[in-house]
Amino acid sequence: MTALWRGFDRLLDALAVIAALLIPFMFLSIVYDVTSRTLRVGQISWVLGVTEYALLYVSALGAPWLLREKGHASMEAIRTVLPSRLARPMERLVLVLCAAGCAVVTVAVVPVLLQNVGVTDIRSNYLSRWMLYAAVLACFALCTLQFLRFLVTGTSPYQGISAEQESL
């Protein structure tokens, strides 16, 4: 099981790196597009469409990694005021509900993705619409697995978070 989680961690790390690399790509593409339009030379038509897709991919590919790193917003305040005998069961209930919610979205997006195979996005001649739903599918499937990982391994999504690390 440990080898499985190590492979899962490597996948999340790789997706987070891809998400991180998309950010400077978007920045440079937009700068080039604005500059080329201003100077009226070497204009490219795909920047807007690709940037919109990339924004979704940055969020979708980075979310499971952020969840693993305990960087998502959480209701820690409620957990801290609960008596210790109720905090852990409440935490497990929240993990089950989060895993179930992510699983529902994962299952719901599959038919929509399949319905959009072969459909070209009208804003761009270069992008297929199913690519939007593939990002959503990957995001919620991997988040489902990460929530289940917290449940199966008994680790807390809150452990290791100190008051100094909190944003408030």
pLDDT tens string 70-128: 877 666 777 777 787 888 888 899 899 999 999 999 999 999 999 999 888 777 667 78
Q: Collapsing DSSP states into helix, strand and coil, what is residue 135?
A: helix
Distance CA 33, CA 66 (A): 31
Q: Collapsing DSSP states into helix, strand and coil, what is residue 124?
A: coil
pLDDT at residue number 111: 96
Contact 55, 26 (CB under 8 A): yes
Distance CA 153, CA 1 (A): 10
Residue 142 clears pLDDT 90, i.e. is over it? yes
**Which positions ≥6 away from 126 have C-beta within 8 Å?**
46, 49, 50
**Which positions ≥6 away from 12 have C-beta within 8 Å?**
64, 65, 68, 142, 146
Residue 31 clears pLDDT 90, i.e. is over it? yes
Enter the DSSP assignment of 71.
-
Domain residue spans of the chain: 2-153
Residue 7 clears pLDDT 60, i.e. is over it? yes
pLDDT range class, residue 165, cuts 50, 70, 90:
low
